[in-house]
Amino acid sequence: MATAAPVPARTDWKPTDKWLLGVVLAVVTFWLFAQTLLNVIPGIQGELGVAPTVANLAVSITSLFSGIFIVVAGGLADRIGRVRILYIGIILSIVGSLLIALTPENMGGLTSAMLLGGRVVQGLSAACIMPSSMALIKTFYDGAERQRALSFWSIGSWGGSGLCSLFGGFMATTFLGWRSIFWISIVLAVLSLFLLRGTPESKAERDPEAAAHGFDWGGLATFVIALLAINVYISQGPNIGWLSLPGLLLILVTVVSGLLFLQIETHRKFSFIDLKLFANGTFTGATLSNFLLNGAAGTLIVALGLVQVAGGMSALQSGLLTIGYLVAILATIRVGEKLLQKFGPRKPMLWGSTITGIGILLCSPTFLLLEQYIVLAVIGFTLFGIGLGFYATPSTDAALSNVPDNQVGAASGIYKMASSLGNAIGVAISAALYVAGQTVDPDLIQSWGLFIGRQDNVALRFGGAIGLLFNVFMVAVAIASIILTVPRDKKVEVEPESQRPERRDVAPPPIGN
């Protein structure tokens, strides 16, 4: 693939901490506010009058649409401007939050349409914000400054995901109600736009040969069809039947579309997803493990849903179980940055993944009494946060620092696509296993003599165990992927400011006031 000539630089503009705060707030609109539905959906499902399958789809569809379109948005950011795409993403966040905040109760199709429509728009918002903000950080920062900026970016994403359960549960139980979550998101999105004003545009000059080939619509179409089919199959499986004719047709559509996608992408020079990026082992390991660890987000929907339904806890009480997760991830993200500089990405990624797996395993013994389970869950979620804190910055930096500058938007898109699709698929599979496990005969479960305490909810608890153990499996595969793909690097050498090359991909015209 021919390389694009860089756009001349503006050397009179440098990012400030206020600008970085604007980026973090943009990221937070998804990870803190949009993701609150993971915890509050059990409580608002009855209020809105939507079926459980619609509620589960509302949880996963945001990450699904983010994952589908994030590579497109990353490629567009490289071509038409990273700042422009970032602004579009923030505006879409406002629109999506508005639709959800105004969703009416018990109005059938209208309720479902506004809830799901708002979640789709939030997914498109994340698709724009994530790759463009990461690309701008790589553009405007170098060396240790970039690693610091990525740490704060990770605080917005991983930290936001840690706070969302607690924040959502708290807001849902106040007099303001769950809708206030999305009104606050709108306010912070507007503040983000204000802090980002005046950012100079950044883009890679488009390769004339690539322009002549046009956009890879075939690759995009087959990719979208495959992902939609598998997500519908996973989320709606309990309703339609896993081995029913509609279910088997969805599997067939997934397989055929996936094979067509690979056929198109491997034979097209300028493809929707540049599979050549995966020739780099470090990028591959960072992206694949990122997909799998984000898939472990299913831990939240299963564990928190279980203690609410089977244990009678409120959304706020269940959210409090994750307070250690929040504190740990915020406290250790900068530690992960230091570990990256000392050991390189491989070791902190492995350490973080292992600690995360142990944490999820501690959340899995649903056969215990509620009081005993709460203690283990608090410890488990704390370890979960420590592990992700160690992992976040080394993984993100490994992905960004191993791709050419003219492909950073598309590569950021692929990396964040892994986050969103991992989240969507992991949540969908965990929720489906949770529901499927509840269909096992309670008398059979009781005959094992494993579940102590109340016996009227053993099917729920068994389903929870199955859903949670699946997340342990996801982390185990993530560890294996890092071992097999990420090389044994030495510590990251931080380049002195005086020796850094002049930035050359920032276009002169500023956007904003």
Phi and psi at residue 417, to the nearest 5° = -60, -40
CA distances from 31 to 24, 158, 187, 299, 510 (A): 10, 7, 15, 16, 28
Burial 175-198 (b: 16+ CB within 10 A, else e): eeebbebbbbbbebbeebbebbee
Give residue 210's pLDDT.
Answer: 58
SS3 (DSSP) at 330:
helix
DSSP 405: G
User: What is the rounded (10 degree) CA torsion for 38, 40, 41, 43?
Assistant: 150
- Amino acid found at 296: A
Q: Tens digits of per-residue pLDDT, 96-137?
A: 999 999 999 888 889 889 999 999 999 999 989 988 998 899
Give residue 259's pLDDT.
Answer: 95
Instruction: Name residues of the chain where pLDDT drops below 50.
Output: 1-9, 11, 492-513
Q: Per the structure block, which two tokens stand in for 95?
A: 């629109």
Give residue 489's pLDDT.
Answer: 63
Cα–Cα distance measured from residue 413 to residue 423, given in angstroms and rounded to the nearest whole number: 15
- Is residue 432 within 8 Å of 295, Cβ to Cβ? no
Give residue 5's pLDDT.
Answer: 42
H helices then E strands: how many in the chain? 20, 2
Give residue 216's pLDDT.
Answer: 78
Give residue 507's pLDDT.
Answer: 37
Geometric angle at alpha carbon 297, from 295 and 299, rounded to 5°: 115
Tell me the CA end-to-end span of the chain in Å, nearest whole number. 37
SS3 (DSSP) at 510:
strand
The whole-angstrom distance between residue 144's C-alpha and the CA centroid of its chain comes to 25
Give residue 80's pLDDT.
Answer: 83
Give residue 206's pLDDT.
Answer: 62
Give residue 426's pLDDT.
Answer: 87
Give residue 477's pLDDT.
Answer: 95
Total residue length of the chain? 513
Q: Tens digits of per-residue pLDDT, 295-316?
A: 888 898 899 889 988 888 887 7
Phi and psi at residue 207, to the nearest 5° = -65, 125
